[in-house]
């Protein structure tokens, strides 16, 4: 059973039927009837918060990631914030972050009192520029936070070699990358601390949720403590060891995750097929700049080309409105992070990171989810051609 996701940056709150067929949102989860029935059983069980389903989901994720210890969270944001705390990052410290990512990646750095230091990204890959990472390291740098944008893995061999050489922790924002792999190793099956998102538009959803893959067994207990109020146990029962948050996943959400994980490889395979169809059919004039294609390790969380705005007589919002008129939803992922008000106040400005800014002003996210057909992709491509030709 396919259900429509809440869509980030939807052009209209309730888009109409298009002139050319049923409305295609840019993202939609695939939740089967077996999972729906299993959720109903959890609701009837009387145990709906963290319990046996969470334990089973964490064990299943661990198996999927080659035996790594995995702990679930209510969001990837919570997992990233706890990861920073595990690395003892706080006031006076710096964390290197790509300028093209969702706001949460940098916001969590600010929330622990540290400074996000932005670097630019590749124009096609949208991934962090490792050469610029090295140039941005100072005596205050404690960690680097790469983002596997749209599911395309960062060159982790090069990044971890640099991190080891400079004594840095690596906190991977793998919010887009469940099921992605680098050199035949699944993201999250290796590395330092790796955070996943299970938001409704991700390749695997728990409705809302996330997880943290942890390399060092000695850090697991503190992860568990920080995700639940900092509570530990002393000689006289419950104790509060430090100020933790409230990030524990529910059994209802974990039950959805178990159903999703059983299908993940099949769903990701379908995403790769649909992305390949885009590369084959999306030939517009003027041409869209397509994202880096990657290889079979790319899980294709989303498909986000760049508009040729310099050759058009209209802006991105006009493109989105016209695509909606064709019955096609379009997202924006993402504006350049350093140009938000919060980060301008820290001294960042336009011109600092040209690739992130080019992506931020011209990116559009086209429909990509397993329930789409090849005909649906062809319809999106034809609409793109028509809209661009009309405004060229």
Over residues 350-378, the mean pLDDT reads 98
Give per-residue pLDDT as tens, 10-57: 334 445 554 557 999 999 999 999 999 999 999 999 999 999 999 999
- Among residues 9, 115, 142, 202, the one annotated as catalytic is 202
Domains of the chain: 33-257 (3.40.640.10), 264-391 (3.90.1150.10)
Binned at pLDDT 50, 70 and 90, residue 9 comes out as very low
Using CB atoms within 10 A of its CB, is residue 186 exposed (0-12), middle (13-18) or buried (19+)?
buried
Helix (H) or strand (E) holding 117: strand 115-119
CB-CB contact of 212 with 79 (8 Å): yes
The predicted pLDDT at position 17 comes to 52
Annotated catalytic residue 202: yes
The predicted pLDDT at position 235 comes to 77
CA angle 100, 118, 201 (to 5 degrees): 30
Strands 169-173 and 193-197, how do they pair? parallel
Give per-residue pLDDT as tens, 342-362: 999 999 999 999 999 999 999
Over residues 127-141, the mean pLDDT reads 98
Using CB atoms within 10 A of its CB, is residue 352 exposed (0-12), middle (13-18) or buried (19+)?
middle
Q: Distance between alpha carbon 77 and the CA centroid of its chain, in Å?
A: 10
Residue 315's SS3 state is coil
């Amino acid at each position: 059973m396919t259900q429509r996701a809440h869509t980030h940056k939807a052009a209209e709150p309730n888009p109409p039927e298009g002139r050319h067929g049923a409305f295609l949102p840019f993202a939609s989860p695939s939740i089967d009837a077996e999972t729906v029935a299993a959720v109903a059983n959890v609701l009837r069980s009387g145990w709906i918060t963290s319990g046996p389903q969470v334990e089973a989901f964490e064990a299943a994720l661990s198996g999927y990631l080659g035996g790594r210890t995995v702990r679930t969270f209510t969001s990837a944001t919570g997992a990233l914030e706890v990861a920073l705390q595990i690395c003892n990052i706080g006031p006076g410290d710096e964390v290197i972050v790509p300028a093209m990512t969702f706001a949460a990646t940098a916001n969590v750095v600010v929330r622990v009192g540290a400074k996000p230091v932005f670097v630019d990204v590749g124009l096609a890959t949208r991934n962090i520029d490792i050469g610029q990472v090295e140039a941005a390291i100072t005596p205050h740098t404690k960690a680097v936070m790469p983002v596997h944008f749209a599911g395309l893995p960062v060159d982790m061999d090069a990044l971890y070699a640099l991190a080891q050489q400079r004594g840095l922790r690596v906190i991977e924002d793998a919010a887009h990358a469940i099921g992605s792999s680098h050199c035949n190793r699944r993201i999250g099956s290796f590395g330092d601390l790796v955070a996943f998102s299970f938001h409704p538009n991700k390749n695997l959803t728990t409705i809302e949720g996330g997880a943290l893959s942890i390399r060092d067994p000695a850090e697991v207990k503190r992860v568990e403590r920080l995700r639940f109020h900092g509570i530990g146990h002393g000689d006289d029962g419950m104790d509060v060891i430090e100020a933790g948050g409230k990030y524990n996943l529910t059994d209802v959400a974990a039950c959805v995750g178990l159903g999703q994980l059983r299908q993940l490889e099949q769903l990701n395979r379908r995403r790769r097929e649909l992305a390949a169809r885009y590369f084959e059919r999306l030939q517009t004039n003027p041409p869209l700049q397509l994202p880096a294609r990657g290889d079979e390790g790319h899980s294709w969380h989303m498909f986000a080309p760049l508009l040729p705005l310099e050759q058009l007589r209209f802006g991105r919002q006009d493109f989105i409105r016209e695509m909606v008129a064709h019955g096609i939803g379009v997202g924006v992922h993402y504006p350049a992070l350093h140009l938000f008000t919060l980060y301008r106040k820290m001294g960042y400005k336009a011109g600092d990171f040209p690739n992130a800014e080019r992506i931020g002003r011209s990116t559009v996210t086209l429909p990509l989810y397993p329930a789409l057909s090849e005909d649906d992709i062809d319809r999106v491509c034809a609409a793109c051609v028509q809209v661009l030709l009309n405004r060229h």
